[in-house]
Chain A
Amino acid sequence: MKRNGKLVWGVVLLVLMSVFPVNLAEADAGGGKKAVIMYSSENGKVEENQKVLDGMISRYTTDISYVEANSVEAEDLEEATHLFYYGKVEERLHEETVELFADFDGVKTIIGYNADQLSSQLDHVDTSLQEAVEGAYEADNEDNAVEFESQAMFPTDPSESAEILLYGTNESQENPLFFIEDDIYYYAAPNLDSMHAVMFAKEMSGIFNVEKEEGHPGYLRLEDVHPLADAEQVQEIADYLKSENIPYMIAVIPIYTDPETGREYRFSDNKKLTSVLQEMQDDGASIVLHGYTHQFRSSETGEGFEFWDVENNMPIYHGENEEVNPKTEEDFESPEEFEAYNQENLDYERAYIEDRIESGIDELAKYELYPLAFEAPHYTMSQNGYEVLSDYFSTYVGQVQMSDENWEIMRPIPTVGQPTYLHGMTLYPETMGYVQPDEPDAVDMMMKNAEEYQFTDGGVTSAFYHPYLGLDGLIEVVEGMKQIEGIEWIDLKETDSQVVTDKVEIRADGGEIDVNKDRIALYTSGFSYPLYFLNNTVEAMVRLIAIIGGLAVIIFFFYIFRNRSQANKS
């Protein structure tokens, strides 16, 4: 009885332990804050601009919901603490919408068009005109300024009572760009692309009433490292980064497919590289899974798109050799049939992605390379894809494709967050770009980008680099990045990143990686690992043979000399 009693308590404790962190995390998700994005957009759909906003808000709360402006109801705003109206297009707002906005007693923010309908005090915003903006500075600290390529903004003329936050400038004049009037934060531009997002993000801490954070999270990622990468070159880079003592990431592709022969190369085919990567992982690197083969159809690894059919500019709803003719609603007799067709496509895509992601994680884990995050090849992935991905990864690195219509729609988000469309994954955005081989001023351009993102407190400064370009270019990038004031190198091993498949569980834990793997299941899936293991063992034995043999030779020489000196004595 006594033993049973103990057992019961043990089980209760275990259950509590496993339940509590989850609950705590959920309770913490919004920190009591709830944001609603109310929007007016071209066809009533959420598009990239709202998603950028979502991304920026998600730094402060992950409790974010969307509502189309003219279909908003009181219950949509229940318990909300922050209301964002994003007027991407001009639109007549319903009275009910205007009323609900006026009655909202939390923090209100308006971006772009239709502000005059929501507050008469904002009718000075002239949305019929667009002014060029080539720079900005903080109203209460003119030294805090930034310059950039010309963008568009609406000319504004806030009243005396308004609190100006940011001024937008061009050669001839300055214009209030972001200000508070009538207790409403207003941002005077319809697009949150590039610098607008950076400038908007700068005042987010005010909107959420938290202290401005200091410093700039930054990271460096080595890109497209696959099994045929040059081990010596990577070793050189590893040694350099180790000596610099900088944590960094390596985007690794587990399989290299030769476009000519179709032959697949794995890490078992390049043991030297494998051990270099293992060494890097031990030193300061975190592995980022960068697809499984980084190709679809017969393109080359590192070149191809893996999770997007770029030829048809659509998600992967079909096999690589199948004929593609996407259907629209008109092709179906009933909406239900169309719905069923869509679901079938999504299921197909899910199965495809699941297979590749699981294979990718497992394949790396076999060679003791433990990915802590994912980066989609060419950043391309459908919205459904990110959802599938979130079953496996808790961290995403790089840029995010924000539309299923066109892969090219990507918008950088200046800060770290957990956008809703990543389904719980933390996004470490990429902001500085990379060293383009043909661009002589590549690093200068990257540093200019970094400068822009530095305008925002907590603005991420991150870059990537292709190791095949050699060490010199990397040194230039690192030397540049070291100059970024307040850069805080992101170490994924210090985050709470985790990666889970049926066979492997990987958790970052205070600078270490905790791994749980079902070794038997993992190592027996396919022949490559057993062979690799055998090969490694054989090589280790051969080395041991050489060492023992060498020692024996030394001992034997000693015997010979002893015998000789004794013979000489007698």
Chain B
Amino acid sequence: MADVLLYTSLFIIWLMLFYHMFLMHGGYLYSLKHKKLEKEWTDEPVELPTVSILIPAHNEDVVIEQTIQSMIALRYDKTKLEVIVINDNSSDNTGHIADLYAAKHPFVKVVHTKPPNIGKGKSGALNQGLKHATGEVVVVYDADNTPEPDAVYYLALGIAKDKKAGAVVGKFRVTNAKQNLLTRLINVETLTFQWLAQAGRWYWFKMTTIPGTNFAIRRSILQQLGGWDEKALSEDTELSFRVYNLGYYIRFFPSAVTWEQEPETLKVWWKQRTRWARGNEYVIFKYLFSPMKNRTVTFDLFYFLFTYILFFSGIILSHGIFVSNLIFDLELSIGPISIALLITGFLLFVTEALIALSMEKGQLTFKNTLVVVFMYFTYSQLWVALVAYATVLEIRRVVFKQEVKWYKTQRFKQNT
């Protein structure tokens, strides 16, 4: 019996690991391909679209000023650019700061949400901002973002060059990576996610998901879709699926870089990630039973399903067997091959993370290598607990028909 459970968990886990292996491979190949593409597209002149940047902000006075400044510093024809800060029910200075900049810079606008459309979360704020947007293309930044000056140019370039791209997604980097161990871990995580999941899926399947910030989407599509889903906790994943359903794809274009702040305390991290996990689970079940037009998306949906339900169950099961085998003799028949699998699994994790780090300047350091090793035993395991927790919350929400509450990530003052 224990054997059956062990092999079941093993096959589930390794199915996922093989898929990740495959994605990482694609990510690497895409990194080679992308360099050529970037050069090709920038060398060839093209008419750039008008762009509306939406920045939803709810009590963001710690970071909003810097974000607006980075908008002003963008290298993009200002006649073709508008920046819309959506001050959503802030009780702090956010609205005031935004108004000051709007007064000085004509392309900066502020939308103060009004009842009843207040405090409806990020999706609600974006929908309010969208009403005022006039650009052909809508770009979204979180209030804590500092895009590089060329970020919007690259996003708009992607849209202009690729007619089939409903949206273009850039890359995000961590501003406070060196702040503490947690942010170092998050830094490794974000880089690996982007090169493995985003670039990998894009390379093999022409498929990425919108990460919630630093992406451009055709406004026509948003209007056709009726904006963002205000019930979704992770409105970005949800929106991605709908874009694919329209027959467009979402291009990954890592030349467009933004820098953002990541949680510096475990508590904030836990709340934020719980929201993501719950959001993704919401999306899985929203679309699992409704037919998808796009086969790749269905596949991706199953990937999500697999990750959140089976993969984590597999890991929990395998952990459970491992621990109980230390205490009781379960008479497992697997033998030394299990050690080979444990080591190989660990090395895959390490090498995949190191590939992602090696693609970024100055990231493949000895210290970061240690962080990766440490990550396997701590941060990754924390994720297991987190997904279990989020699943329990989601089940409870569905069973008791609870109202979703949007948790806004707490910001930290930057020592720049």
Q: Which of B357-379 contact A (CB under 8 A)?
A: 358-359, 361, 364
When A542-B337, A548-B18, A552-B21 are in contact, do A557 and B351 touch as well, CB less than 8 Å? Answer: yes
Tell which of A539, A542, A543, A557 has the most Cβ of chain B within 10 Å: A542
Contact between chains at A550 and B344 (CB < 8 Å): yes
Contacts of A535 in B (CB 8 A): 333
A567 to B359, CA, bound (A): 8
Does B247 interact with chain A (Cβ within 8 Å)? no
Contact between chains at A549 and B334 (CB < 8 Å): no
At the interface, is chain A mostly helix, strand, loop or mixed?
Answer: helix
Interface size on A, residues (CB 8 A): 21
Does B327 interact with chain A (Cβ within 8 Å)? no
Q: Which of B163-208 contact A (CB under 8 A)?
A: none
- Selected interface stretch from A63-71, A253-261, A558-566: A558-566
Q: Which of B18, B341, B348, B355 meets A559, CB within 8 Å?
A: B355
Does A240 interact with chain B (Cβ within 8 Å)? no
Does A556 interact with chain B (Cβ within 8 Å)? yes
Interface string of A467-484 (1 = CB under 8 A from B): 000000000000000000
Does B222 interact with chain A (Cβ within 8 Å)? no
Chain A residue with Cβ nearest B363: A567
A563 to B10, CA, bound (A): 32
When A549-B348, A560-B351 are in contact, do A542 and B341 touch as well, CB less than 8 Å? Answer: yes
B29–chain A nearest beta-carbon distance, Å: 9
Contacts of A541 in B (CB 8 A): 11
Contacts of A545 in B (CB 8 A): 10, 14, 18, 341
A563–chain B nearest beta-carbon distance, Å: 4
Does A538 interact with chain B (Cβ within 8 Å)? yes
A541 to B12, CA, bound (A): 13
Interface string of A511-534 (1 = CB under 8 A from B): 000000000000000000000000
Q: Which of A538, A539, A543, A553 meets B348, CB within 8 Å?
A: A553
Contacts of B334 in A (CB 8 A): 542
When A552-B21, A559-B28, A559-B355 are in contact, do A546 and B340 touch as well, CB less than 8 Å? Answer: yes
A366 to B278, CA, bound (A): 51
Interface string of B340-360 (1 = CB under 8 A from A): 110011011001101100110
Contacts of A539 in B (CB 8 A): 337
Contact between chains at B364 and A560 (CB < 8 Å): yes
A563 to B7, CA, bound (A): 36
When A557-B351, A560-B351 are in contact, do A543 and B337 touch as well, CB less than 8 Å? Answer: yes
Contacts of B7 in A (CB 8 A): 538, 542
Chain B residue with Cβ nearest A557: B351
A34 to B347, CA, bound (A): 78
Contacts of A543 in B (CB 8 A): 337
Contacts of B345 in A (CB 8 A): 549
Contact between chains at A552 and B358 (CB < 8 Å): no
Q: Which of B25, B333, B344, B364 meets A553, CB within 8 Å?
A: B344
Contact between chains at B341 and A546 (CB < 8 Å): yes
Does B98 interact with chain A (Cβ within 8 Å)? no
Interface string of A285-314 (1 = CB under 8 A from B): 000000000000000000000000000000
A77–chain B nearest beta-carbon distance, Å: 67
A542 to B334, CA, bound (A): 9
**Chain B: interface size category:** 20 to 34
Does B17 interact with chain A (Cβ within 8 Å)? yes
Does B24 interact with chain A (Cβ within 8 Å)? yes
Contacts of A550 in B (CB 8 A): 340, 344
Contact between chains at B348 and A560 (CB < 8 Å): no
When A556-B348, A564-B358 are in contact, do A549 and B364 touch as well, CB less than 8 Å? Answer: no
Q: Which of B309-337 contact A (CB under 8 A)?
A: 333-334, 337
Contact between chains at B358 and A546 (CB < 8 Å): no
Chain B residue with Cβ nearest A550: B344
A564 to B361, CA, bound (A): 9
A50–chain B nearest beta-carbon distance, Å: 55
Q: Which of B10, B352, B358 meets A542, CB within 8 Å?
A: B10
Chain A residue with Cβ nearest B342: A546
B47–chain A nearest beta-carbon distance, Å: 32
A527 to B364, CA, bound (A): 54
A548 to B28, CA, bound (A): 18
A215 to B341, CA, bound (A): 56
A66 to B201, CA, bound (A): 87
Contact between chains at A563 and B364 (CB < 8 Å): yes
A5–chain B nearest beta-carbon distance, Å: 58
Contact between chains at A560 and B344 (CB < 8 Å): no
Contacts of B352 in A (CB 8 A): 556
B34–chain A nearest beta-carbon distance, Å: 13
A428 to B352, CA, bound (A): 64
Contacts of B355 in A (CB 8 A): 556, 559-560, 563
A548 to B341, CA, bound (A): 11
Q: Which of A401-431 contact B (CB under 8 A)?
A: none
A429 to B69, CA, bound (A): 101
Contact between chains at B358 and A563 (CB < 8 Å): yes
Chain A residue with Cβ nearest B345: A549
Contacts of A559 in B (CB 8 A): 28, 355, 358
A563 to B353, CA, bound (A): 13
Chain A residue with Cβ nearest B362: A567
Q: Which of A549, A553, A560 meets B358, CB within 8 Å?
A: A560
Contacts of B340 in A (CB 8 A): 546, 550
Contacts of A557 in B (CB 8 A): 351
Contact between chains at A552 and B364 (CB < 8 Å): no
Contact between chains at A552 and B361 (CB < 8 Å): no
Contact between chains at A549 and B24 (CB < 8 Å): no
A560 to B333, CA, bound (A): 36
A560 to B354, CA, bound (A): 7
Q: Which of B337, B348, B354 meets A552, CB within 8 Å?
A: B348
Contacts of B18 in A (CB 8 A): 545, 548-549
Contact between chains at A546 and B28 (CB < 8 Å): no
Chain B residue with Cβ nearest A271: B333
A222 to B131, CA, bound (A): 89
Contacts of A563 in B (CB 8 A): 355, 358-359, 364
Contact between chains at B17 and A549 (CB < 8 Å): yes
Contact between chains at A549 and B341 (CB < 8 Å): yes
Contact between chains at A549 and B21 (CB < 8 Å): yes
Contacts of A542 in B (CB 8 A): 7, 10, 334, 337, 341
Chain B residue with Cβ nearest A541: B11
A168–chain B nearest beta-carbon distance, Å: 63
A430–chain B nearest beta-carbon distance, Å: 38
Chain A residue with Cβ nearest B346: A553
A267–chain B nearest beta-carbon distance, Å: 14
Chain B residue with Cβ nearest A538: B7
Q: Which of A538, A546, A555, A564 meets B344, CB within 8 Å?
A: A546
A243–chain B nearest beta-carbon distance, Å: 27
A560 to B24, CA, bound (A): 12
Contacts of A549 in B (CB 8 A): 14, 17-18, 21, 341, 344-345, 347-348
**Among all A-B residue pairs, the 10 with the closest Cβ atoms:** A556-B351, A563-B358, A549-B344, A553-B347, A546-B340, A552-B21, A560-B358, A545-B14, A560-B354, A559-B28
| Further pairs besides A545-B18, A559-B28, A567-B364: 13, Cβ < 8 Å | A538-B7, A539-B337, A542-B7, A545-B14, A548-B21, A549-B18, A549-B341, A549-B345, A549-B347, A552-B25, A553-B348, A560-B358, A563-B359
Chain A residues with CB under 8 Å of chain B are 535, 538-539, 541-543, 545-546, 548-550, 552-553, 555-557, 559-560, 563-564, 567
Chain B residues with CB under 8 Å of chain A are 7, 10-11, 14, 17-18, 21, 24-25, 28, 333-334, 337, 340-341, 344-345, 347-348, 351-352, 354-355, 358-359, 361, 364
User: 17 A-B Cβ contacts within 8 A?
Assistant: A538-B7, A542-B10, A543-B337, A546-B337, A546-B340, A546-B344, A549-B345, A552-B21, A552-B351, A553-B347, A556-B24, A557-B351, A560-B351, A560-B354, A560-B355, A564-B358, A567-B361
